[in-house]
Structure 1
Amino acid sequence: MAYVVIIGTCDTKLQELLFLRDQIKETAGVETFLIDVGRKPVVNKAITIPQAHLLSNHGDGADVSNMPRNELLELMTGCASKAVQDLYRAGLVDGIVSAGGSSGTALAAAVMRDVLPVGLPKLIVSTMASGDTRPVVGETDITLMHSVVDVAGLNPILRDILSNAGASIANMALSHAARRAKKMEDTAAESMKRWRVGITMFGVTTPGVDAIRAHLESNYPVETYVFHAVGTGGRAMERLIREGQLDAIIDLTTTEICDHLGGGVLSAGGGRLDAAVEASLPNIVSLGALDMINFGPRDTVPKKYEDRVIFEHNATVTLVRTSPEQCREIGDFIAEKLKKTKRSDMIEVWIPKGGVSMLAVPGGAFEDSQADKVLFETIKTGLSGSGIKIVEDERDVNDKGFARDIAEALAAKLGLQKGG
C-alpha cells in the first residue's frame, strides 16, 4: 500500500481537490490523506484532517477568521508541517501533492521543503509553475505542473491536468513504497554498504571531478553524488548532509562562495560549508573555481567590475576574475567556517597551486599569481593552529594525479582498502 498526502484550501478549492483525490484513488493500492489548510472550516467526509483539527492539534486552537493573510499563511504552514511530519514518521507518506495559486503553492512548497526528504515524490499543480520557480523548488526535488488555467472550476482543461497529476503522484508513490520496503529488507545486508560521497563540480573543474569519481568507484565500495555548484547545487548538498544521505564530502569546487561574497548569480548563501563541519563528516575541501564570479549575459555584469578580466563562457554566462582583495575575503570565509569543526582530523584542505580552474592555469585567461597567493596564504594563516591538515600541491585542480591523491585521502579517512 502507498499513501499520498493532499494539501489544499478546502474552503476555496474543495471541488478541485476532491477530483484530484478521486484520480489518485483510481490507481490500485493507493490511499490518500486530505489536509485542509483553508481559512474557513469545511465539513466533508473526504477530508482526513479538517482545518479545525489542524488548528486545535498544532496551532493552539487559534482563531483565524480575521487573521491577516500573511499571518494565516505562516500559521497554517506550520500546522500542516507538523501534521505531515507525524504522518511521515508513522510511515504514511509515500507522496505529497497540492493544487492552487500563489499562496497555496507557497504553503505546500514550504511543507514539502522543510519536512520531507529528497527522494520522496512531491508534486504541485500551480498557476505559478511557468516562471521563476526557484523560490518554490529551492534545493529540493519538488515537481511542478502548470495548471494552464486557474484552479477554479472543473473545466475540461483542468480535469485533464488534474487527472495527469493524480496518475503521476499515485504511481510515483507506488514506486516510493516499493523502494521503501526494499530498503527495509536490505537493512540486514548493511555489510554490503556503499559509501555515499558528495562531490562539487563546475564546468571548469569537470575533468578533476570525473577523475575522482572514476578512481573512487573503480577501487572502493563508493557511489558518488555530483553537485553542480550553481547555488542550488551547493544548497542541495548541504541539505542532503543534514538529512543523513551523504557519508563523506569532496568539496572540490567551492566557487559558490565567490558569488555569495561578490554579488554573483550562483550563490549558495552564507551557510555554505556548514553542514559537513557540523556533522563531522570526512571532508576534503579544495579551491575549485575560486577565480571567478558568475553573472548572466555580458551586459548584466555590474559596472564596478568593468576593469576586471572578464571571460564570456557562453551567451548566457559571463565570468569575472576575483581580485586579490576578494580572494582574501574568500579565504577568510573558508577558514572561519572550517575552524568551527569539533573534529579537525576529519577535514583536509588541498591547495592546487597549479591553478584552481581550467582558466587559472599558466597562460589561462584567469591566470593571476598575486590573487592566488593571497587566497592560499589567507587560508593557511586562518587555519593555523586549528589542527586541520593543509596540503599544498603544485598541480592544478584538474590534474589526474591531483584527483587521484584527493580520492585516496578521502578513502583513508573512511578507512577503506582497495577492492574492499
Structure 2
Amino acid sequence: MTKTILVIGTYDTKDEELHYVADRIEAMGGKTVSMDVSVLGDPSKPTDVSKHQVAQAGGSSIQAAIDSREENIAMQIMAQGAAKLTAQMHAEGRMDGMIVLGGTMGTDLALDCAQALPMGVPKYVVSTVSFSPIIPTERLSPDIQMILWAGGLFGLNSVCKSSLSQAAGAVLGAAMAVEKLEKKRPVIGMTSLGSSCLKYMKLLRDPLLERGFEVAVFHATGMGGMAFEALARQGYFAAVMDFSQQELSNLIGGSVVHSGADRLTGAGAMGIPQIVAPGCADLIDFAGWQKIPAAYADRPFHAHNRLIKSAALSGEERRGVAREMAQRLAGGKGPAHVLMPIQGIEEWDKEGGPAHDPEALAAMVDEMTKAVQAPVGLSLLDCHINDQAFADAALAVLDAWITEGIVKTTL
C-alpha cells in the first residue's frame, strides 16, 4: 500500500526545501500531506494544514502569536498545535510517518510532534542541531531519527540536498518496511543493563517463553528506559520485570544518562503488574567524555568503556534511591512487588569488585524495608541479583499472579 508522509515546517522561510522533500518522497512512490507552522509569512501555495489551523489547535491564533512579539511564545503556540494535529492525523489513519525540517525553532517543535506519536511510527527530523547536547534527553522520543541539515541554513544547494534526499528516502522506506506493534502473545517488558553487569535475563527468558509470553528486554541506559516507559503507557505489556533502576539513580544524582522524569511510573499509571528490583541503583553514570565531579572523586569507580563510566553511591544516597522507588511505586494503580537481594544488586558490587560496599548496601536494604509499604509487596532475598535464586523468586511472584488471574498468559 502507498504510504503517506506528513511534511512539517515553516513554509514561509523553507518553502523550497520542504517542497523538495515532498517531491523526493512522491518520486519514490509515496504520498505527502503538508503542515505549515510558519507565523509571519505565507507558503508559495496552500498547504494541506494551514498555519491558522495549527495555531487554533494550539489554543490561540496567528495574530495572537504575532502580537506576543516573542518568537519563543509564538513557536510554543505552533508546537502545541502541531503536536495535537500530528497525533490526530495518525489516529485517523491520514499519515504513516513524519518528517520535520528546522533549525533550533523547528527542532523544538519537531520534538513535541515526535513525542505525540506512538512507538513504531517513523519520526524523522532534519535539523541544524541534530545530536546536539542542547537537546535534553527527556525531549527525545525513544525511536526518533535525526540527520544533520548540513549546509541548509538558507536555500537549496548540493550539500543540503544530500541530507534532505536521504531523509526523504529514510522516512518513506521506514513507513513501508516497519512491522506494526502487533502482539501475538502477551509481552513481558524487562529492563537490564547489558548482560555482564546484570545477568538475570539469561535465567528468566526461557522460563517466560515456556509460560506463553514474549519477552522484550530494554537496555536501561537512557533511551532504552524511554522506550520501556512509552510502551508501558501504551498498555503494551502484560506485566513488567523492571529490575534495572540505574536510570532513576542517575536522574536523582543529576547525571545526563537518564530516561526522563517519569521513570518507574508508566506501568503503575496503566495498572500493569510490576515486579521491581533496584538493579544497579548503587551507581551513578557519567558520559565517557566527562570528568568525574569532585563530589565523586573518592568513590569506587568503574570505566565500562569509552562511552560510559560509573561511580558508586554512598549509603545515604542509596537510601534516597530506595525512598524514591517506593514513592513512585506507591502511586501506581496496579499490583507491585519489590525484590531486594541483600547480597548485591549488580556484578561489580560483589566482594573484590570496584563497587563492593557492604555497609552502603545494608543501608539501602534497611531503607527499602522502611519505605515500601502495603499494598506494594516486598521480599528480602538472601542472594545476589545475578543468582538463580533471584530469578526463581521473580517467577514465583509472577506465577502467583497468573494463578490469581492478575496476569494473563493468553491475549
TM-score, normalised to structure 2, is 0.89
Q: Compute the displacement of 1:265 (Å).
A: 3.6
Structure 1 residue aligned with 2:172: 170
State percent identity of aligned pairs: 27
Contact in 2 for aligned 1:58/1:83 (Cα 8 Å): no
Contact in 2 for aligned 1:298/1:312 (Cα 8 Å): no
1:21-40 matches, cutoff 5 A: 21-28=22-29, 30-40=30-40
Contact in 2 for aligned 1:42/1:50 (Cα 8 Å): no
TM-score, normalised to structure 1, is 0.87
Structure 2 CA distance, aligned partners of 1:335 and 1:18? 52
Contact in 2 for aligned 1:123/1:169 (Cα 8 Å): yes
Of 54-63 and 94-103, more deviation after overlay is shown by 54-63
1:140 to 139, 142, 156: 142
CA 1:38–1:233 in structure 2 vs 1: closer, same or farther (change >3 Å)?
A: same
Q: Compute the displacement of 1:57 (Å).
A: 5.2
Structure 1 CA distance, aligned partners of 2:59 and 2:409? 54
Q: Compute the displacement of 1:396 (Å).
A: 0.8
Structure 2 CA distance, aligned partners of 1:61 and 1:373? 58
Contact in 2 for aligned 1:41/1:51 (Cα 8 Å): no
Structure 1 CA distance, aligned partners of 2:119 and 2:70? 32
Structure 2 residue aligned with 1:129: 130
2:98 is paired with a residue whose SS is: strand
The one-letter amino acid of 2:276's match is V
The one-letter amino acid of 2:295's match is K
Q: Compute the displacement of 1:412 (Å).
A: 3.8
How much is the aligned-residue C-alpha RMSD, in angstroms?
Answer: 2.6
Contact in 1 for aligned 2:21/2:168 (Cα 8 Å): yes
Structure 2 CA distance, aligned partners of 1:273 and 1:329? 15
CA 1:43–1:198 in structure 2 vs 1: closer, same or farther (change >3 Å)?
A: same
Of 255-264 and 13-22, more deviation after overlay is shown by 255-264
The one-letter amino acid of 2:356's match is E
1:96 to 79, 82, 98: 98
1:391 to 359, 379, 400: 379
Structure 1 residue aligned with 2:327: 336
Structure 2 CA distance, aligned partners of 1:49 and 1:138? 24
Structure 1 residue aligned with 2:208: 216
Of 267-276 and 104-113, more deviation after overlay is shown by 267-276
Structure 2 CA distance, aligned partners of 1:262 and 1:58? 35
Q: Compute the displacement of 1:249 (Å).
A: 0.9
Contact in 1 for aligned 2:250/2:258 (Cα 8 Å): yes
Of 236-245 and 15-24, more deviation after overlay is shown by 236-245
Of 118-127 and 136-145, more deviation after overlay is shown by 136-145
CA 1:88–1:314 in structure 2 vs 1: closer, same or farther (change >3 Å)?
A: closer
| 1:28-50 deviation digits (Å, cap 9, x = unpaired) | 2x321100101234254451112
2:198 to 192, 206, 210: 206
Structure 1 CA distance, aligned partners of 2:169 and 2:288? 40
Structure 2 residue aligned with 1:196: 187
Structure 1 CA distance, aligned partners of 2:54 and 2:235? 29
Contact in 2 for aligned 1:240/1:246 (Cα 8 Å): yes
The one-letter amino acid of 2:293's match is P
Q: Compute the displacement of 1:297 (Å).
A: 4.5
Give unmatched runs, 5+ long, in structure 1.
Answer: 184-189
Q: Compute the displacement of 1:93 (Å).
A: 1.7
Structure 2 CA distance, aligned partners of 1:45 and 1:409? 61
1:74-89 matches, cutoff 5 A: 74-89=76-91
Structure 2 CA distance, aligned partners of 1:270 and 1:53? 32
Structure 2 residue aligned with 1:364: 353
Q: Compute the displacement of 1:398 (Å).
A: 0.9
Structure 1 CA distance, aligned partners of 2:358 and 2:70? 57
CA 1:51–1:26 in structure 2 vs 1: closer, same or farther (change >3 Å)?
A: same
Structure 1 CA distance, aligned partners of 2:269 and 2:113? 24
CA 1:238–1:4 in structure 2 vs 1: closer, same or farther (change >3 Å)?
A: same
Contact in 1 for aligned 2:270/2:333 (Cα 8 Å): no
Q: Compute the displacement of 1:165 (Å).
A: 2.1
CA 1:117–1:264 in structure 2 vs 1: closer, same or farther (change >3 Å)?
A: same
Structure 1 CA distance, aligned partners of 2:253 and 2:106? 34
2:247 to 240, 245, 256: 256
Contact in 2 for aligned 1:41/1:52 (Cα 8 Å): no
1:314 is paired with a residue whose SS is: coil
1:206 is paired with a residue whose SS is: coil
Structure 2 CA distance, aligned partners of 1:156 and 1:298? 34
Contact in 1 for aligned 2:126/2:149 (Cα 8 Å): yes
Contact in 1 for aligned 2:39/2:62 (Cα 8 Å): no
Q: Compute the displacement of 1:10 (Å).
A: 0.6
| 1:105-158 deviation digits (Å, cap 9, x = unpaired) | 221221111x10111001112221253375386242111122221242222232
2:12 is paired with a residue whose SS is: helix
Q: Compute the displacement of 1:159 (Å).
A: 2.7
1:337 is paired with a residue whose SS is: helix
| 1:244-289 deviation digits (Å, cap 9, x = unpaired) | 2323211111122222222334233443211222222110101211
The one-letter amino acid of 2:230's match is R
Number of residue equivalences: 403
| 1:73-119 deviation digits (Å, cap 9, x = unpaired) | 10000111222222112111200012222211221221111x10111
CA 1:8–1:394 in structure 2 vs 1: closer, same or farther (change >3 Å)?
A: same
